[in-house]
């Protein structure tokens, strides 16, 4: 079935989208019809009961039981329809399925990470199988974020010190946008990702490859991939421009002024500490806003990132 979006809503790509869209369009159509009736009657009455001469007075009007009952009963009925329709859809959304894929989602300034039961740990982009329920258990490492996939019609706040859950069952293969929809600071608008909906075989192959990704790559090459995949790119440029954090251009083995008045050298140990425990040593002129990558990078991935940052110096510093 062809599945196009409309001017109101993007394409519907999950099982609950039907309920959400049905109710949305019903409320929209009802509102348009009521709006048209009200405006039309207003125009007719304005014309029909206009003042026709200097001495015409509006006759005194009493109430009309039939009309008053009508305009009470009809809206009450409409509201009841919206309530029960909405409630049944809400229950479907809030009762988690007992089977399917489970993924742990973490929101932090300013990226999403996904921890799979198979061991894969991904940033911003993740994948799920088509026509299978997926449950996300979510929490935040810092402030309130909100996980939003418009095509699936799901949105749920992601809070520090608490787990929230959301589920969906994708109905189409494809790539869909993930947004953060709770203002969470300077780079909130860059806290975006993609969910890839794959066929069952492709998903099985994919989860197998990402669980072991990068072990056989040269470290600097792996680091270059991780620089983008782990969202370092959001805050650290390679061309010397200052985004949220220091640029990696020519950073290697440079002396750094720290906010506590001492200096450090940008070497393997400084980088490792800054990735795992970013608030330990803060570069003068920058805010301590970097999140920790503790538990999100394997040792060989850390080595890869360090090898890559080293290279940014070699390529451009000559
Ligand atoms: Cu995270 Cu906005």
Note the residue count of the chain. Answer: 318
Return the structure tokens found at 196: 């890839």
Nearest residue (by CA) to ligand 1, atom 1, is 145
pLDDT at 300: 84
Q: What is the DSSP letter of 289?
A: -
Q: CA of 274: how far to CAs of 184, 205, 222, 254, 264, in Å?
A: 22, 34, 19, 15, 12
189 lines ligand 1 (CB under 6 A): no
Residue identified by tokens 């650290």 is 236
Q: Is 182 in the pocket of ligand 1 (CB under 6 A)?
A: yes
Residue 263 zone, left/alpha/beta (φ > 0; ψ -120 to 50; rest): beta
Distance between CA atoms of residues 269 and 166, nearest Å: 39
The pLDDT value given to residue 315: 54
**Is any atom of ligand 1 closer than 6 Å to the C-beta of 180?**
yes
- The closest of 196, 313, 186, 197 to 243, measured between CA atoms, is 186
**Which alpha helices (DSSP H) does the chain contain, by range?**
17-48, 65-94, 200-211, 219-229, 268-276, 299-316
**Mean pLDDT, the chain cut into blocks of 10 residues (318 residues total):** 77 92 94 95 92 76 89 94 94 92 93 88 92 96 95 96 95 96 93 95 89 80 90 89 87 88 90 90 89 84 90 60
Beta bridge partners of 146: 157
Q: What predicted TM-score, i.e. pTM, was given to this entire model?
A: 0.69
Establish whether residue 188 lines the binding site of ligand 1, counting it when its CB lies within 6 angstroms of any ligand atom.
Answer: yes
Q: Give dist(CA 143, CA 311) in Å, integer.
A: 34
pLDDT of residue 314: 56
3-class DSSP assignment, residue 281: coil
- Give the span between the Cα atoms of 98 and 272, in whole angstroms: 40
How far, in Å, from the CA of 185 to the mean position of ligand 1? 7
Taking the C-alpha atoms of residue 24 and residue 10, their distance in angstroms, rounded to an integer, is 13
Alpha carbon distances (Å) from 136 to 121, 139, 156, 196: 14, 10, 10, 15
Q: Which atom of ligand 1 is nearest to the CA of 107?
A: 1
> So what's the pLDDT on residue 318?
40
Q: What is the reported pLDDT for 1?
A: 43
């Amino acid at each position: 079935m062809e599945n196009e979006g409309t001017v109101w809503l993007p394409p519907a790509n999950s099982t609950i989208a039907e309920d959400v869209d049905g109710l949305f369009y019903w409320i929209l159509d009802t509102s348009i019809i009521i709006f048209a009736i009200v405006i039309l009657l207003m125009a007719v009455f304005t014309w029909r009961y206009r003042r026709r001469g200097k001495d015409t007075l509006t006759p005194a009007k009493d109430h009309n039981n039939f009309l008053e009952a009508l305009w009470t009963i009809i809206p009450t009925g409409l509201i009841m329809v919206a309530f029960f329709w909405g409630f049944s859809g809400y229950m479907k959304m809030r009762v988690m399925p007992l089977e399917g894929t489970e993924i742990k989602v973490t929101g932090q300034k300013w990226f999403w990470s996904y921890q799979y039961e198979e061991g894969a740990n991904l940033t911003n982009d993740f994948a799920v199988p088509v026509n299978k329920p997926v449950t996300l258990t979510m929490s935040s490492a810092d402030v309130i974020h909100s996980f939003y996939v418009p095509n699936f019609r799901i949105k749920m706040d992601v809070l520090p010190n608490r787990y929230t859950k959301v589920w969906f069952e994708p109905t189409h293969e494809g790539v869909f946008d993930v947004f953060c929809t709770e203002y969470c600071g300077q780079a909130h608008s860059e806290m975006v990702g993609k969910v890839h909906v794959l066929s069952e075989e492709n998903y099985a192959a994919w989860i197998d490859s990402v669980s072991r990704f990068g072990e056989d790559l040269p470290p600097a090459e792996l680091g270059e991939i991780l620089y983008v995949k782990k969202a370092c790119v959001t805050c650290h440029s390679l061309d010397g421009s200052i985004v949220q954090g220091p640029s990696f251009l020519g950073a290697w083995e440079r002396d750094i002024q720290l906010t506590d008045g001492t200096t450090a050298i940008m070497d393997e140990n400084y980088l490792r500490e800054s990735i795992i425990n970013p608030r330990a040593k803060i570069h003068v002129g920058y805010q301590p806003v970097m999140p920790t990558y503790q538990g999100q990078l394997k040792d060989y991935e850390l080595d890869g990132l360090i090898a890559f940052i080293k290279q940014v110096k070699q390529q451009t510093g000559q």
